[in-house]
Structure 1
């Protein structure tokens, strides 16, 4: 019997909708995951012993409820959180042992924004039953298939053994996932403390004692910390030569490449044309570090030569201006940068068809190790000096009172220029969570004629300052990734509580590079309009032991506000180049930014024809199969 017309139309409509969804999925690139806090599962003891009234004037379970509720309220909007509890559903007699040792409840795996559900469940807990810690750990780890953080709160020793709970924790830690198990003992006896310390020891975590709600809150906050997020470069690698005579030639369309920089000079050959000027920035790519004691010093330097320069001893004869990084001892922190700009090719003893780039590194920082370094090359034609404009006088103070008083909203910052979090140039206040050694990147447009004004605020009493110290370090970078000198440099270190202002208060102007302005010719002055970058690094003081990518680190929340101040002016005009992309009406910063974005997404776009069309074919095949099956049924 044939189906009614309305039903057939409904089926066709559903199939059409499914086809559209499948097609849209197959043609849409998957969004890249943002860096977030480590997914965390809280495991609470809800056994009968938690009714003891010895936790600062309240029962142990009430102290656990208060502490875990506060933690969830603090982190659930920025962290994937889940909850496990054991006990509460059986009696405590011999007849209840079998069921009691299986009494583990998982409310849900780690997810975001689930505070109300978790808290409602925690507040409804009524302790009784047994302590199946081993099963609780095993079941909870299954909710973290790609790794994460388990925080176990217990007031006693496991009474559902074997297997030994320390052996269970060791097997989980060696299971191949990046799992960390932290434990907190709430008024535990020596035997229970030893067991919990063993679990944390083999689980790669830490153990802490707690006696009441406040100490438990502090212990939970520390245990719910995370590892640092870091940047790993996947840019095309072009290692340089050890001698200029063997310099590695760079294609004229190469704008960004990676090299492993040893403690000696490396050379590249860059083809150029008459009237062209090039700027080069070198930025080191290293894992986060907290070392501030005995890590040595580093000098990073960039120069531009002609072929004859070494022969006549005229090193850097094509160099118009350079900024050499030199950071000894305690000064080694953040991103190491060296930048250089050439003279106009064809003038000033720089009459050549190729410029030789030399990047040198000296000092004993990371002695004997090559340092990955990204090198940015930007080209632009002769500037029309009549379009440069005048440099106005800098301002000596910053007034961010109104913006700083606004409510901050949480963001996920990037770990590098290509993933920097965008800020509203009108004055946007954001907040984020950082751990020691980590660097956060932000981006905001500051055009020609404008200044950058910013402030950072944090409260270091969030953490145990005696453990890692208290220090935020701020850097600013231009669109071509050259570091910019910040005014109020001393106050850009947020080494105590309160609002710290900083910025560059000289308006962006090409005069800072192309003619002698009131600031002089300098790459440290803001000479290039477009997307500027801020880097925030949490670097403690007085540390002689480093951290690794698997260490659980205390989190620090800070607030950042930044704005582009002043009215923008027309950008300078650059002549066209026969082999380069900048036009007569486009400032080089805008072109470079587009090309950097293109470079960052090249891998994703190149996979489109194979991966996404392939998924589209699979989706279409499923739809055809459904249609065929329905037709046969009809």
Structure 2
């Protein structure tokens, strides 16, 4: 995606969250997540599915597979409806026929398997009553999801769509996903309505395989809501009072137009301090931006960068960026690489509306390296090597935040689905000297998706390095492919992204600031809407990722306390010749992290540029404009 430096969807190194870690998200913590399976046990479940087998058998098999894949710590329960009162009993009894056969809890997989085994078709289809009971089962706290599976329209009043709407209107924070098992159009419309008003997604299923896929995807999303997370920290407006942070992950909020300061602690001289910052506002913020800066305590700037969190023109309200403090080989005694502490600041751009939204800070320390002047310093990076969409040989769901990226293997093509508003994150290992090529292919969609896709829906692909910054090769985009464009309703749409080669010295020049360390890189796929979001059926796609290039340029890391060797004069002169131009340009640029009075011209210029971007977005010019913007707003540091 063309804007990962300024508004990335994206990802980073997976983190195991320790007890006491705070979370902030569009939903609650996955530790509070509860999933209730609400299963139709009406007499029609005895009818054959698309494979000629009883629908109840497909449901048993699919739920059994789901149960086998659950984490024992996850809070899950099962409620049936239409399974206790025969059809010849009084209607009032049949229309209140719903039973919680497995109460919500963890470690109850054996009870769930027993319930599935005893699952039999019997009575009516009292969906509305079952929804009301399921809401009571879930209570009023935590991240709550109902997964409703039915093969027929409700046979009892009231209308289940109205009930779902009432539950939402009452402030009950609830998501209801629905699955129609071999249903007719009338039933499909009703189940789609329930999902729509309750913030969920409707899935069609015809047999065991399709039902298993639907249940697996819904349950995965239920337990992996997007979230920013980390140890709570409160930055200060006065740098003298700034909290000290070291390697780890932290959570704070952005202050209104003011810088927030932190002291980043270095454990050993000569190491590289990598700091990433990520935001995903929970509402439209327009073309907002935030700055991240790293400097010494006496005011020497080591690095700064900018990230946009887009909210208009199909943006995804998701931004991430990184900065690095390191000892450049031009100056082995550079305080950016040797001072015990560096001053980190974050602030929103003047016209932004990010005040009060959470920001996730990621701090990592890379060991000191010796003779980095002899490592590759190649500005002529590889072009696209010809990766093509392959035949799928696996399925993926994707992580939904930086902290749960789904690992994938290079050289393979995977099948997946995405719904409007999702950001899916995948991780792939990349070594020194290698780069990533990624293709997302939306095949010619089925006709039932045409109406949904006629409304502007923007798909995007991006690449992010291990420290949550842009790894995209902005000048190496393969011919014929975009990174961000509208998914078409009646034709195939393919997107592609290429990263820079991973080289240690990439951190010493502007553009590939995140392609400077080997490790897990991240492929990010997102789908957003250009106007008001709506209920979107899952849209199928394939993801093809390859890692190419010979392993080369691995730095020699030192033991803690060892000093890097000084660069040779010959190597230094050669490197300086290639760096003079970018250094001159850097010195001529305004510093967006100066005090408000000094920064006003620079930030005013940014505001005018952001306004221009917003206007041109509707004309389809935003990709090219942002590409130019990131070339001039890249990392700056003194040498």
TM-score band, normalised by the shorter chain?
Answer: 0.5 to 0.7
Distance, in Å, in 2 between the alignment partners of 1:143 and 1:283 is 38
Per-residue CA distance 1:518-556 (angstroms, 9 max, x = gap):
xx5544362211221222222x232246x8xxxx76333
Q: Given that residues 35 and 414 in structure 1 are in contact (C-alpha distance below 8 angstroms), is that contact kept between their aligned partners in structure 2?
A: no
User: Does the 8 A contact of 1:225 with 1:555 survive in 2?
Assistant: no
| 8 Å CA contact 1:90, 1:103 repeated in 2 | no
**1:491 and 2:482 correspond:** yes
Structure 1 residue 557 corresponds to structure 2 residue 546: no
Q: Does 1:388 align with 2:364?
A: no
The reply to whether residue 230 of structure 1 matches residue 225 of structure 2 is: yes
**TM-score, normalised to structure 2's length?**
0.58
1:376 corresponds to which of 356, 363, 386: 363
CA change 1:465–1:234 in 2 (3 A) is same
Residue 534 of structure 1 aligns to a residue whose secondary structure is strand
Structure 2 residue 495 is the aligned partner of structure 1 residue 500 = yes
| Counterpart residue number, 2:305 | 323
The answer as to whether partners of 1:156 and 1:188 remain within 8 angstroms in 2 is no
Alignment of 1:189-228 (within 5 A): 200=194, 204=198
Q: Which structure is higher in RCO with an 8 Å CA cutoff and minimum separation 6? A: 2
Q: Any residues of structure 2 matched to 1:455-604 within 5 Å, and which?
A: 455-459=439-443, 460-461=445-446, 463=449, 464-466=451-453, 469-486=456-473, 487-488=476-477, 491-493=482-484, 495-496=486-487, 497-504=492-499, 506-514=500-508, 520-524=509-513, 526-538=515-527, 540-544=528-532, 554-569=537-552, 571-578=554-561
For the residues of structure 2 that align with 1:152 and 1:434, how far apart are their CA atoms? 22
Q: What's the secondary structure of 1:418's corresponding residue?
A: coil
Q: Is 1:240 paired with 2:239? A: no
The aligned runs of 1:84-483 (5 Å cut-off) are 86=82, 147-151=145-149, 154=152, 158=156, 178=174, 180=176, 200=194, 204=198, 229-244=224-239, 246-250=240-244, 253-262=246-255, 263-271=257-265, 276=270, 278-286=272-280, 291=284, 295-309=285-299, 317-319=300-302, 321-326=303-308, 329-330=312-313, 332-333=315-316, 335-342=318-325, 344=327, 347=333, 354-385=341-372, 387-389=374-376, 391=378, 393-401=380-388, 404-411=390-397, 413-425=398-410, 427-459=411-443, 460-461=445-446, 463=449, 464-466=451-453, 469-483=456-470
SS at 1:473's partner residue? strand
Distance 2:296 2:186 in 1: 73
Counterpart Cα distance in 2 of 1:166 and 1:172: 10
Q: Provide the rounded CA distance (Å) in 1 between the counterparts of 2:243 and 2:521.
A: 29
- Secondary structure, in 3 states, of the residue corresponding to 1:511? helix
CA gap of 1:158–1:575, structure 2 versus 1, over 3 A, is closer
- Using the alignment, how far apart are the partners of 1:569 and 1:326 within structure 2? 33
Q: Give, in angstroms, the shift of residue 568 of structure 1.
A: 0.9
Q: Which deviations, in whole Å up to 9, do the C-alpha atoms of 1:230-263 show, x marking residues without a partner?
A: 343442223222133x242525x53433322223
* Post-superposition offset of 1:264: 1.9
Cα 1:188–1:511 shift into 2, 3 Å: closer
Displacement, 1:186?
A: 6.3
Q: 3-state SS of the aligned residue for 2:359?
A: strand
Q: Secondary structure at the match of 1:513?
A: helix
* Structure 1 residue 573, shift from structure 2 partner: 1.4
Q: Is the 8 A contact 2:83 2:97 kept in 1?
A: yes
Measure, in 1, the Cα distance between the counterparts of 2:58 and 2:163. Answer: 32
Summarize the Cα distance change of 1:359–1:491 in structure 2 as closer, same or farther, 3 Å threshold: same
Q: Secondary structure at the match of 1:474?
A: strand
Which structure is larger by alpha-carbon Rg, 1 or 2?
A: 1
TM-score by length of 1: 0.59
CA contact (8 A) 1:82 1:109 kept: yes
Q: Structure 1: which 5+ residue stretches go unaligned?
A: 1-28, 52-58, 310-316, 515-519, 584-634
Note the alpha carbon deviations across 1:437-494, whole angstroms, 9 max, x for none.
2222222211111111221123454745258643322222212222212442862236
Q: Secondary structure at the match of 1:375?
A: strand
Q: Give unpaired runs (5+ residues) of structure 2.
A: 1-18, 20-28, 71-76, 566-639
Deviation sequence 1:488-518 (CA, Å, 0-9, x none): 28622363334433221x421123234xxxx
Number of residues of Structure 1 aligned to a counterpart in Structure 2: 495
